[in-house]
Amino acid sequence: MTDNMEETAVVREVRKNGVVIEITKGGGCEHCGMSGMCLGKDHVARHFVPTDRQFQVGDRVHFEVNPVTRVKASLLLFLFPLVMMVAFYAAARYLIGWSENVAILCSFAGLLASGFIIWHIDRLVGDKVVFEIVDGTADEGGNDENPPA
């Protein structure tokens, strides 16, 4: 079984050294924890992708996110909050000597802190996510609703 993490986007702007693609929430986004941060409230995101290939506005392109970036994002989203909860609990319980109930509340504070840290990291490096266009097709007829099979 192959893990196809390709998604489809539409070229919205052509620049000298690349294109701006518009990504809408797709199948791969359903299983990704970053889809809310990556795509925002509108479930649409625009990203500049450097390429030497020739595209026109309205062309559909298949793209993928660098696998290393996906692994880093997964670790950040799923492992980091757990580490923060354990660290805050251990600090409150064993370093400071607070009761277990207070330490548990501190672990939830660690969870909230991890959410803030992840949000801040996303704002700092979110635009640096590396997209790669793997295939492109001309949009025959200009219909964005029905992608070609």
The whole-chain average pLDDT of the chain stands at 79
Q: Between 24 and 61, where is the model more confident?
A: 61
Residues above pLDDT 70, as percent of the chain: 73
Tokens of 149: 């099979």
- Average of per-residue pLDDT across 109-125: 91
DSSP E strands in 1-142: the ranges are 7-15, 18-24, 44-50, 60-65, 131-137
For 61-82, the pLDDT digits (tens) are 888 877 888 888 889 989 999 9
Q: pTM for the complete prediction?
A: 0.62
Residue with tokens 């070229």: 11
CA distances from 9 to 82, 91, 135 (A): 34, 46, 11
